[in-house]
């Protein structure tokens, strides 16, 4: 059921998503395919690294955020895709067994001048483990305007 349109995402609107449990197996599986640096693959190398222990690839963290977004928002939104990302910050390592939650806040929302049926929404997403924020992502999303004449 589609119930999130551009009109439902005004500036200041907050979206809570989650939860996602990270596993050691998922960290190693992702890193093996996409980011085979020793500190994402092997405990001994990870313990000797700057991050002092096994941690997820930053791109794995982004992919997990996308999955949380799909499950919590995109599947019920009139989404028209995304042209890109304005910022990603990997603030703290994401570890095996971390339980992640995510919160988004709409930072800007405007109707496209050239395509009045499309809204452009910038959301700042914050990812947390049980103790602290671990990542930040500012993403532009395109959402269908439900009532172009009123918007």
Minimum distance from CB of 2 to its own copies (Å)? 13
Minimum distance from CB of 23 to its own copies (Å)? 12
Token pair belonging to 145: 């305007």
Question: What residues from 32 to 71 belong to the interface with its own copies (CB under 8 A)?
Answer: 33-37, 50-51, 57-59, 62-64, 66-67, 70
| Residue pair 85/140 in contact by the 8 Å Cβ criterion | yes
88 contacts its own copies (rule: CB under 8 A): yes
Query: x/- string (CB under 8 A) for its own copies, residues 66-85?
Result: xx--x---x----xxxxxxx
Q: What is the DSSP string of 51-100?
A: T-S----HHHHHHHHHHHHHHHTGGGB-B----EEEEEEE-S---TT-EE
Using DSSP, state whether 46 is helix, strand or coil: helix
Minimum distance from CB of 97 to its own copies (Å)? 19
By CB under 8 A, the count of residues binding its own copies is 30
Report residue 31 CA to chain centroid gap.
18
Q: What residues line the site for its own copies (CB under 8 A)?
A: 30, 33-37, 50-51, 57-59, 62-64, 66-67, 70, 74, 79-90
């Amino acid at each position: 059921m589609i119930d999130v349109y551009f009109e439902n995402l005004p500036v200041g609107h907050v979206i809570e998503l989650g939860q996602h449990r990270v596993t050691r197996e998922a960290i190693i599986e992702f890193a093996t395919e996409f980011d085979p640096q020793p500190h994402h693959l092997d405990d001994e190398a990870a313990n000797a690294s700057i991050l002092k222990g096994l941690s997820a690839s930053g791109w794995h963290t982004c992919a997990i955020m996308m999955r949380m977004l799909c499950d919590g928002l995109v599947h019920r939104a009139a989404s028209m895709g995304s042209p890109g990302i304005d910022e990603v910050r990997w603030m703290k390592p994401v570890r095996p067994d971390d339980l992640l939650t995510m919160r988004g806040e709409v930072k800007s929302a405007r109707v496209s001048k050239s395509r009045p049926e499309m809204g452009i929404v910038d959301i700042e997403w914050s990812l947390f483990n049980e103790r602290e924020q671990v990542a930040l992502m500012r993403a532009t999303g395109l959402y269908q305007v439900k009532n172009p004449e009123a918007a």
